[in-house]
Structure 1
Amino acid sequence: MRDNFMIASSSSLERAWGWRDLITLGKPRVVMVMLVCVVVGMGLASPSLPPVHLVINGLVGIGLTASGAAAFNHVLDRRLDALMLRTAGRPLASRRLPTSYALAWASLLSVAGVGLLAWQVNALTAWLTLASLLGYALVYTAFLKRATPQNIVIGGVAGAAPPLLGWTAITGELGPEPLLLMLIVFAWTPPHFWALAIHKHDEYAKAGVPMLPVTHGDAFTRLQVWLYGWLTVAVTLLPFVIGMSGVLYLIAVMGLNARFMVWNFRVWRGRDSQAPLAAFWFSIRYILGVFAALLADHYGMLLLAQS
């Protein structure tokens, strides 16, 4: 009888949470987008193919740290997440996973990631990755998110770091080029996230999160999406202006920018209730397309130079 009770208790615990919940804490889809930007930074930093060992160790180290930061975000936001339909099913918000387990997992991922970078990549990348983790998990999640409607703009510095980290992983140095890559992500973040915030206005209001649509209204936020969209367009043209990329990138990014601004225009006009969410999803494909164009242009020019 005692054995049956232990088996039943074990089965109940297994149903309550599992390894999939630990993976969910790391926000793997978000981390994958980040790692694509890291790869672009790595490729652009090298006149040829970057060293394989730096690519592998850099991606693993940055990926682990980013997953750790995401897990800390789950811990700090667990009460807010429980109030929002979009996030109520998360492991901590739904109370499937004990908070102490999540904290231990987040710490393990973060220490392992930063440690690997310091050991196998370089100290600069390790320190910058740690700063990005602290900026996202503590400065943004614990303070800015609850303090100001400009949380996305100010906190966007930490989220814009991946291409810069990819660059420093290969070179061990900072420079204007990786800072420009970081600026592209920084400018793109407000129209990307504010589009989602418009769509989720009621949920943010219920949770008491001072997102821009909640504090300044949807109309003002739609205008900001439109204006920041144009800022993003201007910044994405700078790689061509400074000679960092060539005509192939220019043609590709002009096409991407045209489609990007069509969606931002639909958000600004406010006549289509589905436009903000559609613009949000397109903006993810947009930023991936911009960086893919940079990488294709870079290696395309290398092939032309060698032929």
Structure 2
Amino acid sequence: MSLKALGVTAQHGLGGHWRDYLALCKPKVVAVMMFTAWVGMLLAAPGSLPWEALLFGTLGISLMAGSAAALNHMLDRHADALMQRTRRRPLPSGKLDMGHSLVFTGVLGISGFVILLLLVNPLTALLTLLSLVGYAVVYTVFLKRATPQNIVIGGAAGAMPPLLGWTAVTGQIEPMALVLFLIVFTWTPPHFWALAIYRKDEYARVGTPMLPVTHGEDFTRLQILLYTALLLAVTLLPFGMGISGWLYLLAALGLGGTFLYHAVMLLRTRSRQRAIRTFLYSIVYLLGLFGALLVDRYLGLWFAALA
């Protein structure tokens, strides 16, 4: 079914408005991703961060992340037109056309890749490219409509930013970088499944086999609780490895305990309003956890310098 058949026509001319192109890049999602990437950069070289890595790494990763988001919008435009949450996006609403969107997406992706390849390092360029392909193609085209485990498998692409930030500074993959990746990877299913419960009817309408649609809400709530418990265990790794101190440990336990509380209440109350509250808290949780990692590391350096 075409957008024209859905009653969608261009509203702002062929080129669209700059705000429409910005919306195409999912700026809020990219902002969260870039925050975790910055934490990866700052943890990789505490106190001696090369400005080139911060500047060009941020620019290249964010451009390619925006390109992946835009490509996701293009590939999902027909389903987006049928969902309340997404029907006002630039493509299904007719604010942008496919031709200009494709050119915009290509320019972003190629520019970001060239910046990372020439001004950062080849490893970061390659990993970011794999992340783009994993999210925009493997997840969006294949996994999203093939299996209710789509978000678990496809979550690997979304978990890459802190690893990319680390490699942008060091040029290599190290154990702590993998731990940062693992934290986001484990966080993604309970985060997204909470939203999927809230939007279950819309996913069912467009035939997307999200877990609440295929296995029911009760099963999904149980999975959210189990993954949240696993996430709490994973977040203890930085302390167990001797990389982070007591401040981070207390933050991880406090934030993780609150996340567990939300998951338990979601299981007990079977409320969709509780589902969206759990989803929103999961974002606060991730930002708080990565912020605690950063504060803990730099406070430790500050106290060491004073000693």
The TM tier, using the shorter chain, reads over 0.9
1:39–1:163 contact (8 Å) kept in structure 2 = yes
Q: Which amino acid is the alignment partner of residue 238 of structure 2? A: P
**TM-score, structure 2 length as denominator?**
0.94
Q: Percent identity?
A: 54
TM-superposed CA distance for 1:95, in Å, is 2.2
Q: In structure 2, what is the equivalent of residue 169 of structure 1? A: 168
Q: Which runs of 5+ in 2 are unaligned?
A: 1-10
1:25-174 matches, cutoff 5 A: 25-174=24-173
1:69–1:137 contact (8 Å) kept in structure 2 = yes
Q: In structure 2, what is the equivalent of residue 236 of structure 1? A: 235
CA distances 1:1-22 after superposition (whole Å, capped 9, x unpaired):
xxxxxxxxxxx74599311111
1:222–1:270 contact (8 Å) kept in structure 2 = no
CA distance in 1 between counterparts of 2:169 and 2:14 reads: 43
2:38–2:162 contact (8 Å) kept in structure 1 = yes
Q: Which amino acid is the alignment partner of residue 146 of structure 1? A: R
**TM-score, structure 1 length as denominator?**
0.94
CA distance in 2 between counterparts of 1:17 and 1:265 reads: 45
1:193–1:280 contact (8 Å) kept in structure 2 = yes
CA distance in 2 between counterparts of 1:273 and 1:77 reads: 25
Q: In structure 1, what is the equivalent of residue 5 of structure 2? A: none
Secondary structure of residue in 2 paired with 1:274 = helix
CA distance in 2 between counterparts of 1:78 and 1:72 reads: 10
CA distance in 1 between counterparts of 2:13 and 2:94 reads: 14
Q: In structure 2, what is the equivalent of residue 5 of structure 1? A: none
CA distance in 1 between counterparts of 2:271 and 2:97 reads: 41
Aligned residues between the structures: 297
Q: Which amino acid is the alignment partner of residue 219 of structure 1? A: D
Q: Which runs of 5+ in 1 are unaligned?
A: 1-11
TM-superposed CA distance for 1:273, in Å, is 3.0
Secondary structure of residue in 1 paired with 2:48 = coil
Q: Which amino acid is the alignment partner of residue 134 of structure 1? A: V
Larger radius of gyration: 1
CA distances 1:268-294 after superposition (whole Å, capped 9, x unpaired):
113433100011011001001110000
CA distance in 2 between counterparts of 1:145 and 1:284 reads: 22
CA distance in 2 between counterparts of 1:45 and 1:186 reads: 19
Structure with the largest fraction of helix: 1
CA distance in 2 between counterparts of 1:16 and 1:103 reads: 12
CA distance in 2 between counterparts of 1:49 and 1:84 reads: 47
Secondary structure of residue in 1 paired with 2:204 = helix
Structural RMSD (CA): 1.4
